[in-house]
Amino acid sequence: MKSFSIEEIAVLVNGEQIGNCNDQINAPEQIENAIKGNITFIGSSKYVGLWEKSNASLALVYEGIPILPGEGKAFIKVKNPDLAMAVLLDAFEPEPPFFETDIHPTAVIDKTVKLGKGCKVGANSYIGRNVVLGDNVTIYPNVSVFDDCTIGNETVIWSGTVIRERSKIGSHCIFHSNVSIGSDGFGYRPSEDGRGLVKIKHIGNVVIGNGVEVGSNSCIDRGKFSSTILGDGCKIDNLVQIGHNSVLGKCCIMAGNSGLAGSVTLGDGVIIGGSASIKDHVTIHSGAKVGAGSGVIADVQAGKSVVGYPACDSREKMKQWVALRKLGRN
């Protein structure tokens, strides 16, 4: 377990120390649950009342809050508590899981695979023909990577994740547990007798940029032909569905349980709220925001916020909700 002196933490977060305490700080903790040796956070005045009873040794405090630490405890006052907290979490981050050997003997790695320097492949993982891994790629146990994929430097793939053939994955990406990349898209045509459905083959692939993170149990389908594309820096939460031939620009955010049907286009910096779903062939332009739980059935202009089902301008939808509430009370 890592630990720091209060002086070391003050330097790390570039803050001003107030009060004194000799405790070595070993973990961040919420103000109610903190024990001696913990650091906690007072980012707004609503936490002030909890401080006196807290057993924390130290708190990061927003400089605008007029509060003193009291006897035997200390504060570090900072301009930006959120940033300071992020820096602190970096400092306290534990080591990742232990690999006894870089390439576990039970991993099945085709002889044609190219492994960069410093790659780790965990127990019982499978890597198919002609896969190319960059440097320092980490593949945890029970992962499957299929033929002809490329995976960039420093990318991390957690257990249960499956990456299908011909996917191109950038560097510094993270795939959490049980992610499914590159499965066939969902497309059928009526059979000739009109009584059944015939599968449309999906021969495209998935192309993912650098710095992309994909949450647990999310799915990104391959293109029917051509590619399903995620731009650099996209952040995808858990249980998200991205349909075939969707194209996401840079730094898009999709929250948990949201979904894109096929051939959806997102510009740069688009934010999709949790459980929202977007109809096929819709374009959501750069900087637009879709509220949680919304259903988007038409294009959204750049920078606009929409919400509801069917989604419309957020302010207009608020008025509709207010009107409906009044109507229900008549």
Among 55, 275, 286, 314, binds a second copy (CB under 8 A): 275
Cβ at position 295, least distance to a second copy in Å: 4
CB contact at 8 A, 204 and 244: yes
User: For a second copy, which is the closer residue by CB, 202 or 289?
Assistant: 202
* 43 to 72: interface string for a second copy, x by CB under 8 A: ------------------------------
CB contact at 8 A, 203 and 221: no
User: For a second copy, which is the closer residue by CB, 19 or 293?
Assistant: 293
Long-range residue pairs from 124-132, CB within 8 A, at least 24 positions apart, any chain: 128/165
Among 21, 113, 115, 239, binds a second copy (CB under 8 A): 239
Cβ at position 301, least distance to a second copy in Å: 18
Q: Which of the ranges 11-19, 57-65, 71-79, 256-264 carries the binding residues for a second copy, by CB under 8 A?
A: 256-264
* 80 to 99: interface string for a second copy, x by CB under 8 A: --xx-xx--xx-xxx-xxx-
Q: Is residue 217 near a second copy by the rule CB under 8 A?
A: yes
Inter-CA distances, 7 with 24, 58, 75, Å: 10, 11, 11
Cβ at position 270, least distance to a second copy in Å: 13
* 173 to 212: interface string for a second copy, x by CB under 8 A: -x-xxx-x--xx-x-xx-----xxxxxxxxx-------x-
Among 5, 17, 55, 159, binds a second copy (CB under 8 A): 159
Pairing of strands 180-181, 188-190: unpaired
Q: Is residue 235 near a second copy by the rule CB under 8 A?
A: yes
Cβ at position 230, least distance to a second copy in Å: 13
Q: Which of 176, 244, 281, 285 is catalytic?
A: 244
* 278 to 307: interface string for a second copy, x by CB under 8 A: -x------------xx-x-x----------
Q: 10 Å Cβ neighbour count for 180?
A: 18
Q: Is residue 5 near a second copy by the rule CB under 8 A?
A: no
User: For a second copy, which is the closer residue by CB, 213 or 299?
Assistant: 213
User: For a second copy, which is the closer residue by CB, 68 or 197?
Assistant: 197
Ordered DSSP codes for 274-315: TT-EE-TT-EE-TT-EE-TT-EE-S-B-TT-EEETTTTEEHH
Cβ at position 176, least distance to a second copy in Å: 4
- 104 annotated active-site: no
Ordered DSSP codes for 175-207: E-TT-EESPPP--EEE-TTSSSEEEPP---EEE
Among 69, 128, 134, 209, binds a second copy (CB under 8 A): 128
- 163: its two tokens: 């990456």
- 122: its two tokens: 């965990």
Nearest CA-CA partner of 151 in 126, 136, 165, 171: 171
CB contact at 8 A, 187 and 263: no
CB contact at 8 A, 31 and 49: no
3-state secondary structure at position 237 = coil
Q: Which residues form the catalytic set?
A: 244
